[in-house]
Each structure stands twice: as C-alpha cells, then as structure tokens.
Structure 1
Amino acid sequence: GWGSFLPPPPLQPSPHPKTPLSHLGPEGAYCWAQARGIPTSQVALKTAKAVCKICQIVKPLQVEAGSHRQVPRGDQPTQIWQVDYVGPLPHDHRKANILTMVDTATGYGEVWPASRADQWNTITK
C-alpha cells in the first residue's frame, strides 16, 4: 500500500526479540517466532511492547493495512514521499513489479522496474 518515508525513531535497546518485525507489533512478532519454532506468547510480546520506548514512538506512525489515511504533504521537496508497487505484472516480463515514488510537496514522480516488491528494492532505487 501507500506509505511515507518518515525519519526513523532513535534506536535504543529493546526488551523484546530482535526480529524483522520487532517494532511492528506483537502479532507480527508472534507469527515470526511461530514460523521459526521460537516459543513465546502473545501476552509476553504485548507486555514487552508496552515497555518498549521505540514501539511507543513508532505506533502513531503506523498505518493499518487497507487504510485510506491521507499521507501528509511535505513542506519542502524530498521531505515526504508516497511509495507503492504496481504488480505483479504478467510472468512474461523479466521485472514483475513497478516501483512508483511521488514527492508529496512537488508532485514529482519516478517509476522503476523491480524484480521483487520488497524493502530492499525500495531503499536501493
């Protein structure tokens, strides 16, 4: 879905497991742990999230999946970008997705072919 680049919160030690989903909520961390056979409970993850300073900073910035919350406009160019992937395209294309990026202050946009719709492709374009 659409998202915006906001400055990351300052990194601090966290009491809950360091996972790719560690600050995205107890549900995501629970699924990650279960898929890898790591014993944990949703209660333990919710408790850890309640005391984690980073989680308290990130929570107001998160957008629910399928949400239609408006992305704020930047006051200056390159301050806030809307980013999305279009795809997957039909399999006869070598690049299965198209990365779209729009500067919210100026309306300037770019598109890039991408083999995968993932964070790595987003940050390396």
Structure 2
Amino acid sequence: MKQRQSSFGSGRAPSLTATQEESAQPSSTQQRRKRSVRRRRPSPSTKRSRHTRHQRSSQANSRAARRRHSSKSRRTKEIELEQKRKTAKARRYFIHCAKQQEEKNCNEAREVLDEMRTNSGDPDEA
C-alpha cells in the first residue's frame, strides 16, 4: 500500500520539482507490475517439473472421478477391481513360488491363476 502514495498525497504543493522526480522514477503502477512479474518467476525447484504437487493430485482425482462416473454401475466396477486384485495377488504368489521352486505351492498357484483366467474371460490373459 505504501507504493500507491505518490507525491500527490504527501501534503506539499505539487510543484515542478515533484513532477521531475516522478519522471525520473518509474510510476508506482509500473513498479508494481515489475514486482508481480518478478514474483511469478518459478524457483529452480519448480522449474524442474511443470506441475506442482497440488496440480498432480487434482489431476489424479479428476481421472479417478472419470473412471467412477462411466456407464458401468459401481457394483460391477467393484467386482472387476476385486477380480483384478485377486489375479494380481495370485500372479505374484505364482512368481514367488517359481523363484522358491516349491512344486506343490507352485501348482496350487497355477490352478488359481487358471481359474481366474476362466472366470474373468480376459482375452489377453488366456
């Protein structure tokens, strides 16, 4: 607010010297504009990535909302998500067993995986 008070509000009569002072210095609005431009320049850390953390999270939220509000009902979506979760879990367990080379557990996991594939009907997993 200090910047807004120019020589007009200072109490002394606006003489020729006051106008000369103002012409020497840029006007208060110009100074204010410069300052705002300077403030907007990003710090080196922000320059690295264009999106701030807030923007990224809001973007993710809108993406999730889009996923939620598609034509399918919420229940079928939940069922599909659960199915995906189970297949992923079975797949992880299968890989773990393969690494451990435990034949019995490995076969169990393979059966579970096959069962999941037949239930879900995904062409890419068959």
What range is the shorter-chain TM-score in?
Answer: under 0.3
- TM-score w.r.t. structure 1 length? 0.24
By relative contact order (CA 8 Å, sep 6+), the higher-ranking structure is 1
Greater Rg by CA: 2
Higher strand share: 1
- TM-score w.r.t. structure 2 length? 0.24
